[in-house]
């Protein structure tokens, strides 16, 4: 193991709010409201997919890679969920969603639309996208998984959530319809 400082316990309840950011607390509030069960592990900052390997082992899941993208005009924004070990090829995705010149969106947009910062990108950030500025894209391999691993809008915890709950409870609640892509 890489030596990530990680709490060896798995939790099925929300953490104590003390010392937690308000945006993380709101994630747990929403999961409770929607009756979405999860398994949680707390750890030090995991800013890259590579740093999540120990978390994956604990949660028995592949943490998905989340990329925040935009078109050249910065008028269309996308959150792409894909397997962490898969290579991202801009041209492949651009063809499928009929856009050109996709690039990584600036952190300012990430914070404005999703209230998250680089390294903490998560599908759960869509709860903050009240104006539906961000289109969710899910790679078919991730879409077909039983469960998905993601951060609660901060990269010091990771959650394992059933894909069915994400698709049938969370996304309808936050009014986001995913587009399935093949990368």
Residue spans of the domains in the chain: they are 22-181
pLDDT of res. 23 = 94
Report the distance separating Cα 68 and Cα 109, nearest Å. 9
Task: Give whichever of 1-5, 36-40, 50-54, 91-95 has the largest mean pLDDT.
Answer: 36-40
- pTM given for the model: 0.92
The 10s digit of each residue's pLDDT in 36-60 is: 999 999 988 776 667 677 888 889 9
pLDDT of res. 53 = 75
pLDDT at 2 over 60: no
Sign of CA dihedral 117, 64, 159, 49: negative
Asked whether 166 and 180 are in contact (CB, 8 A), the reply is no
pLDDT of res. 136 = 98
- pLDDT averaged over the chain? 91
Tell me the CATH number for domain 22-181: 3.90.960.10
Q: What is the mean pLDDT of residues 67-81?
A: 96
Would you list the DSSP string of 22-47?
HHHHHHHHHHHHTT---EEEEBS---
How far, in Å, are 4, 60, 139 from residue 57 at the CA level? 12, 5, 22
Confidence of residue 137 (pLDDT cuts 50, 70, 90): very high
pLDDT of res. 45 = 79
Coil, helix or strand at residue 151: coil
């Amino acid at each position: 193991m890489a030596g990530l400082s990680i709490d060896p316990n798995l939790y099925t309840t929300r953490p104590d709010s003390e010392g937690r950011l308000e945006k993380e607390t709101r994630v747990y509030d929403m999961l409770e409201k929607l009756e979405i069960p999860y398994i949680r592990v707390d750890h030090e900052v995991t800013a890259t997919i590579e740093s999540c390997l120990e978390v994956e082992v604990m949660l028995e899941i592949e943490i998905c890679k989340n990329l925040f993208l935009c078109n050249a005009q910065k008028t269309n924004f996308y959150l792409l969920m894909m397997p962490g070990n898969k290579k991202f090829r801009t041209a492949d995705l651009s063809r499928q969603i009929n856009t050109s010149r996709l690039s990584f969106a600036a952190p300012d947009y990430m914070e404005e639309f999703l209230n998250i910062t680089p390294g903490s990108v998560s599908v759960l950030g869509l709860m903050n996208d009240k104006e539906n500025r961000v289109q969710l894209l899910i790679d078919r391999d991730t879409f077909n998984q039983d469960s998905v691993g993601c951060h609660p809008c901060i990269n010091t915890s990771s959650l394992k959530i059933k894909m069915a709950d994400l698709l049938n409870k969370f996304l309808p609640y936050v009014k986001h319809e995913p587009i399935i892509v093949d990368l």
